[in-house]
Every structure is written in structure tokens, then in C-alpha cells.
A and B are shown apart, each in its own frame.
Chain A
Amino acid sequence: MRVGLFVPCYVDQFYPNAAISTLNLLKKLGVDVYYPQNQTCCGQPMANSGYEHLTKNCNSLFIENFAEFDYVVSPSGSCVLHVKDHLHDDKREEDALKVRCKVYELVEFLTDILKVKEISASFPFKVGLHQSCHGQRGLHLSSMTELVDVPFSKPLQLLNQVKGIEMIELTRPDECCGFGGTFCVAEEAVSAKMGKDRVEDHLLNGAEYITAADMSCLMHMEGILKRQNSKVKVLHIAEILNAES
């Protein structure tokens, strides 16, 4: 099984540790994982802004980089959802379809494909789990408070295997952080307020760390935390699943 690692553009540039942890975690679990060097972005920033027609080059590049692999894995639910829903290529539509079917967000790859039952990690801290919307409502990484459904959570299923970790409960378990791509500047006032409110929920419930399966939400909340000079830090779920103490 050959796995291609897709590292979203902003993770590559600003959060290399999240990507390094993802790579190391996959290796630790015995996965034959490669990082194609010519990858850039899934094209979501343009598409969500109404410019999906400008994502053709990104799409072709994505297929070029990842068509050869058995699975494509990425530490971002949002980018994976975008690829799943919108990756097309007039010249290689069959390959596009194949990629759409084999792209996985890291957590679901661990729980559904690798069926990981034991994680050798230790993280003795109080952690709040942010349910990133695209991972949760888009990829169904966990049940949603709006739906009448059997409760489940793939991220928690993994986090609960980490030694010493204490997961905190949130007052609003699955409210959006307000990042929303270009929404964060186009609708600055509401976006920032949503971010502040989300962070507040974690702080009030005693989180020392906030984690998620999406770095973009964490980047947003980190920006708010730092502005408030808070000691609380954000970590991608891969960094916790890979933490040794």
C-alpha cells in the first residue's frame, strides 16, 4: 500500500510540525508514505470565493502528483472535502474520480483504513477538541448535534488511546470557529467574534491545549489566543497522537 501525503499549502508554509507529525505517525504505523514534491494547493481558497473556474491548474497538478498512489492522506478535513467534492479535470476525469475516491483525512484513514486500535502516545494535559465543520459535517468524522443519530467520534476514538490525556467537555460541542477561508477577512467582524467565542468555550472549560483535525481552524483560534496573551496552545491532532513524554 503506497500512500501519498498531501500537505495543504498553508500547513506546508506555516505549520510544518503538523505535517512532520503526520508523516512520522504514518511511518510509525508501518505505512509506506511518500511526499510528492510538486504539490501546492487543493484550490479551495479560490473555489469558495466563487472562482472555481480558476482551479483547473490546481486540479491538474493535484492529479499529476497523486494519481499513482493507493491512498492520498492529508492532515486537513477541509482540503480533503474540497478534493472529494470538486476535483475535476476535462483531460483526466477518470483519474480525477479515482483520486476523489481514495483521498482520506488523516483521522478517518487511521480509524477506517488502518483500523488503529492502539496508539503509543502520551500527552498528560487537558485538551479541548474542536470539531472542524468540514471534517465533521462534510466527512462525517463524528456525529453532529443537529442530527438524531448514534453518537460517535473518530477523533475521540483516537485521542482516548493517548496515555494521560484528559479531554474536556465543551458547552457548544460543534460550533464553527469562524475561519471560513476568505470569510475571515471578507466578514472580519463576525469571523473574529466567532473565533473569540469558540476560544472562550475552551478556556472556560479548562483546556490547556486545543486540538482539531484541521489546522486552519486552529490557526484562527491561535491568532485569537495570542492576541489575548493566553498560555493555551493549539496542536494538530497528529502532534498529540505522535507525542512521546
Chain B
Amino acid sequence: MDKLNTLKHSELSDLFNKDEERVNWHDDTLWWIRAKRDKAAHGISEWELLRETASQIKNNVLSNLYNYLIEFESKAQANGIKVHWAANAEEHNKIVLSLLQSKGINQMVKSKSMLTEECHLNQYLEDNGIDVIDSDLGERIVQLAKEPPSHIVLPCIHKKKEEIGQIFHENLGTEAGVSDPQILTETARIHLRETFLTRKSALTGVNFAIAETGEFVVCTNEGNADMGAHLADIHIACMGIEKIIPKKKHLSVFLRLLTRSATGQPITTYSSHFKKPRKGQEMHIVLVDNGRSIQLGREDFRNSLKCIRCGACMNTCPVYRRSGGHSYHNAIAGPIGAILAPNLDMKEYADLPFASTLCGSCTNVCPVKIDIHDQLYKWRQVIVKEGNTTVAKTIAMKVMDFTLSSPTRFKLAGKIGRWTLKHAPFTVNNQFNLWFKNREMPEAPKESFSEWYKRNNTEK
């Protein structure tokens, strides 16, 4: 895994593509979800108005983030919730650990939270003697497989049911060779039920935090966030500071968009509102920055913070579908991951904005209208300007500029290129030419268009 960690998106995609059947299966699975999303969107005539409204609300939030956060904090405190602020991942992890330690707790159940993935909380807690069990089924599966999620909504979408059967056989004692989803789900249910009943602490993510009321909303299909939170003595909810929405009435806009965009469902099975701790329970919220303020200050990239983590851009991305979530070597994969990650570590994630054809499908499905593909283009410029490129690429680009800057040089280079293709094809059609690996070179015509034009328009 260490070696894999140092590989770039193109290399990891190359490995993923060694098994073409698997790529086909992965692509078809996610395309099916994209098609469900289309059907759900087309079922609502005001879909584009909804997207525009959500986008405007989020723009308002980003422009007034400070005020909304302060409002949310005071309302939440008034409701009896304890509010913590974390500037970065490290602070976030320390806050969670100290809360658990103050109660003498060493076991925790956790529902899905991409923020905790971003902060690598599980590893940190494990290193400090806390046993964490992920209660989202998909997350539990990848946790048992000792892998990170490959998708923000569908964490184990890269696993076939037979592989899940094997993981369950090894970890939960199902019979070898059993891959029937009904049996596997039942097994997970029994296993998790025991967890829910015995854990004293529960951590959940936050989908939306409402400034007006100080409550937060957690959306799940499995009810696992509720099961964990309702039975625990201490409920810790972790959220990025961009999750704020101004008023409760705005929630409906997002709830209508979120799951239709994510999986094509009209709404999540559970949209749970948490407003105050029940008697005897402690409720905490950790508000995490971790680079978000910096991103907010980047004019070209700030609106990436509008993201509501639906994953639609991943399902539609023709590259993601054929490279798998792990090829993005980041907690958040796909197009949105590729515009968020360089903000956190430009050098480490310099490859991600280039893992796209800029086809623009991501921008079209985004429920909050983030201009994802334009930001990919802009990140490329920033990454190169900051020096996160290779000397070979820079030389190649300078040669290209030198050639294309002069009509004479361009015509000469074209002539030489076409002559070489025709008379010495072996110099082009070989292993050093990556195009040639799976594609034939175009045939070289005997004259270029400009040569033809000159011959046929001598009068001009």
C-alpha cells in the first residue's frame, strides 16, 4: 500500500485498467446510477430552477459565512449543544479524542462522515486506543477490508458482491462462498445491532447545519446515524464550516436535490434533525476549517465550497468510472476531489486536475452549479505556475510554442512530421509513443490543407 500511495492518478488508472472486464463492470454500475439520477431529475420540471436556487443560497452562505457560523454557534449553545472549533485536521482529531477520554470511553460507533475521512480520524483514534466501528454498511465493508472508501456516497462501489462475501466470511463468520446480498445484509445487521447496543459514544457527520435554529440534519438511508446517536451517552457531530445553510426553509431545496443527484432516489430514507441532547446525553459539534478559509480566499475556486457531497460528478465522470475512486489517492475522489485536493496540498495532488478531458458533464449534473470543469482548467494553470510540473513537459510546451508561433516553422514541422509518418513509420509507431499503444496514428496525407489551398487559389 505504501508504494501505491506514491503513485499518481495515471499510474493507478493504468493498474485499474489491467482488468478490462472489471473496468466494464465498474463503469456500467456507476452509469446505471447516473441514469437513475437523470430519470429523477427529468421527473421534476423545475429541476434547473432548484439547482439555481441552491446555488444562490450557497453563494449567500459563502459571502456571509462568518455571520452564519456565529449565529449557528449561539443558537446551538442555547439548545444545549457544546460547540468546538477546529482550525485543522489535527485539532479536530484531538477534540474528538479528548471528549472520549474525558468520559473514559474506548469504543465508538460512527456513521458516514467524509470530513473524518479527510482528517484521517479513524487511524488517529485507533493509534490512541479507541476502537471505531463504521456503521454505514458500505463503510463497514471497506473498513473490514482495510481500505479507504472509493466514493463519497457509495464507499464500497468498487467491490463485487463475491468479494464482500469473502470479507464477511473472514471477518464476520459467514459461510465461505456466500454472496447473496440478503444474507450478507442480515449478517451485517446483526453485527451492527450488537455494536449500537453496546457503544456509549456515537460520531455522525452533518449534511446541513441551520444557522437560524442551531440544529443539524444528517441524511442516511440505513438509519445508522440515528441508531448510533440515540443509544449513545455522547453524540459528537463533525462538520466542515461550509455546511451551514441560513434558514430552515432552505433545507427543502437541498433535500430535494441531494438524493436525486446522488442515487436517483426522491429523498434519503432518514433525514434526521438533531437540535438538542436528550436528558442525560451530551451533544457536541465540531466545526472544522482545515483549509476551507484558504479556499474561500481563492476567488477562482471558492465556490467549490458549495459542494453538498452528493457524488453525482463522480457517477457521471467518464474518467472516474474507468479509473476507480482509489486512483485519486485522496479522501474525496472524482472531479470534485480534484478541485478540492490541490487546496490542501498542491504538490501531492498536482496530478488530479489533469485527470479529466474537461468534458463538462460534472458541471452539468452538479446540484449546486459548481463550475467544476472550469476550475480544473484553472487549477492546471496555478499548478504549473507554482512549479508543480516536470521539466520534460515544460520543454515540450516551449517547443510547441516556438513551432506554433511562426507560420514558417509550423509548415516545416508539419511537412517533416507527415514525411516521417509516411516514410519512416517505425520512428513513430513504437513503444515510446503512448498513442500507438492502443491506437493507430492518422494517415499522413500527401499535402496539407494550406498546400492544397495555395495550389488551387494561385490568383489570391
Contact = CB atoms under 8 A, between A and B. Distances in A.
Interface of A: 7, 9, 11-17, 19-20, 23, 34-35, 37-41, 43, 45-55, 57-58, 61, 133-134, 137-138, 144-149, 172, 174-176, 178-181, 183-197, 219-220, 222-224, 226-227
18 contacts: A15-B442, A20-B452, A51-B401, A54-B401, A133-B358, A137-B363, A148-B41, A175-B361, A183-B357, A187-B9, A187-B319, A188-B434, A192-B438, A194-B318, A195-B438, A223-B438, A223-B441, A227-B440
Contacts of A40: 404-407, 410
Contact of A54 (B14, B319, B397, B441): B397
Contact of A184 (B418, B435, B454): B435
Contact of B439 (A38, A47, A181, A224): A224
Interface of B: 9-10, 13-14, 16-17, 20, 23, 27, 31, 38, 41-42, 44-45, 47-48, 316, 318-319, 322-323, 354-361, 363-365, 377, 380-381, 383-385, 389, 393-394, 397-398, 400-401, 404-407, 410, 414, 417-418, 434-435, 437-445, 447-450, 452-454, 457, 460
A67 B385 CA distance: 30
Contact of A148 (B14, B45, B355, B389): B45
Nearest to A86: B377
A172 B323 CA distance: 19
B379 to A, nearest CB: 8
B377 A48 contact: yes
Contacts of B31: 172
Contacts of B23: 193
Contact of A188 (B358, B400, B437): B437
Contacts of B453: 23, 35, 37
Contacts of A227: 438-440
A137 B361 contact: yes
Contact of B401 (A58, A174, A180): A58
Contacts of A224: 438-439
Contact of A185 (B16, B406, B435, B443): B435
The majority secondary structure among interface residues of chain B is helix
Contacts of B318: 175-176, 178, 194
A180 B48 CA distance: 28
Contacts of B48: 147-149
Nearest to B355: A187
A184 B398 CA distance: 19
Contacts of B406: 40
A150 B347 CA distance: 43
B404 A41 contact: yes
A46 B405 contact: no
B361 A176 contact: yes
A16 B397 CA distance: 25
Nearest to B443: A14
A176 B435 contact: no
Which of A53, A148, A175, A181 has the most CB atoms of chain B within a 10 A radius of its CB?
A: A148
Given A15-B442, A148-B44, A227-B440, A189 B359 contact: no
A190 B359 CA distance: 14
A49 B380 contact: yes
A203 to B, nearest CB: 15
Given A46-B397, A190-B17, A220-B439, A137 B360 contact: yes
A13 B380 contact: no
Contact of A197 (B27, B381, B435): B27
A55 B405 CA distance: 9
A111 B224 CA distance: 55
Contacts of B445: 14-17
A57 B48 CA distance: 40
Given A39-B407, A45-B400, A186-B10, A192 B437 contact: yes
A188 B356 contact: no
Contacts of B363: 137
A61 B14 CA distance: 38
A16 B448 contact: yes
B358 A223 contact: no
A41 B316 CA distance: 31
A33 to B, nearest CB: 11
Given A13-B418, A138-B360, A37 B437 contact: no
Nearest to A13: B414
Nearest to A172: B31
Contacts of A19: 449
